Amino acid sequence: VDPIFLNSEKRLAEAMIQLVEQSKLTLLSYHCHGLIPVGVSCAGVLLESHVAFHTWPTEGVISLDLFTCGSGKLVPTLPSIQQLFGVKAAHEEADDPTMLWSHKLRGFRQGFVPGYNFDLNPLDSDLGAEILSSHDVDIKNPIVSAAETDYQTVDIYEILDPAYRRLSDYYKSLEDDGSYESLHPEFYAPDLLLLLDGRIQSTRYGDAPYHESIVHPAMITHPNPKRVAVIGGGEGATVREILKHSTLEKVVMIEIDEGVVNLSTKYLPDWQDCSSIAHHEGCDEWCFNDERADLRIEDALAYFNDNFGSSSSSESFSKQDAQFDVVIMDCLDPNDDHPFAKVLYTDDGYINSLYGALTDDGILVVQVGEASDIDDHADENSSFENRSTMIKMLDAIGFKSIHIYEESHCEFDAPWTTLIAFKDVETRKRWYRNPAQVELDLSRRILPTKNGKSSLR
């Protein structure tokens, strides 16, 4: 930061006053004091609490603390702090100022505030614990902060953690100098995290491991998957993987939250990028423009119950709503403290409608959350009771075989599990093919890319 700015009581006081005004806080009084030989300390008393900072002009550094009581959000003030206090030095060689920051909840809530549940507060969930409170990352950029849709809160963060990637390598990857980094920038970019209601849903480096693992095992096991349904999957990556299959005629994605789809389209374009297969007939660079893709913004429970539930008649749905060869449920985790999660995993009518939605040799796929550890309680005696209940219901309904497999590269805190259920014994036999047979089927099924490389990562 400009050392002249950092040694000016007047300019720093003006910046503090503007910050308070832009943050819609109330300044009661303030005092700035110049130090000898250099440096300034300022403290402002707020109706909500305080703002204070100290400067080190010779180092070009300012340390600032903004503390408030109440429900007002402070993360939206970051652009104002950057603009008002990140004043670039005047000389030509000066670098742009960088800002390292952390956001912490102070005080006592769980066990002290009646009815408080930290799972329902995004700032107490993954967002707060793993992103906002961290002060040892080189890049932490809120791309989308606390955007409210009709159903949930959406956050998107850009993170570069020095434990996994070096800032110098990232900067080198942006140059056009023929270095390995510049030729392979995809290995050095900051991670990109999508969070819904404060919980991490998808990441740039976990995108392929998660979405490939939830889609391709079932798609390649089915002898000829033509029609596929996706429940949830608002960021679009599940549909992207399904569209890579040459046997596909139609994929119907039923997502209740249009806000997540729109935000993902704008800020997570790679999740919906089908440019590698766009040269095929009917395909498009944006996955949802593919002729085989049918995006429906509606309630999945109502869709399946109305069309495939026990009370529905065969005349109640058109040809385009015919049964599916594969149904993939990529939505809430079974242990989420959300009433809709319990319905998705335990409602008798809905579970029966999933069975009815499948063809005779159909396959059901469900992401069923974090893998159990060796010391964990059995699912039926833990927060994963919904997972246990669903497995029992699927067995009782008539699925011939049910398996759970794990993927440990999804960038979550633990390996992630996927349930696959077979309606037919003959289809289930294909689950046990050897690796060579699977690789052969993949080479035949997956649409070739423009550059000839595999679209699977």
- Please report the DSSP string for 364-432 in residue order: EEEEEEEPPPTTSPPGGGSTTHHHHHHHHHHHHHT-SEEEEEEE--SSSSS-EEEEEEES-HHHHHGGG
Instruction: Reduce the DSSP state of residue 312 to 3 states and report it.
Output: coil
- Residue corresponding to tokens 């005047």: 90
Q: Cα separation of 87 and 97, whole Å?
A: 7
Is the Cβ–Cβ distance between 195 and 309 less than 8 Å? no
The residue annotated as part of the active site, out of 2, 330, 336, 424, is 330
Q: Has 330 been annotated as catalytic?
A: yes
117's CB contacts (< 8 A; 6+ apart) are 110, 337
Q: Cα separation of 255 and 234, whole Å?
A: 6
Q: Give me 94's structure tokens.
A: 């000066």
Closest CA to 24 of 82, 64, 70: 70
The neighbour count for residue 219, using CB atoms within 10 Å, is 24
Instruction: Show which residues are catalytic.
Output: 330
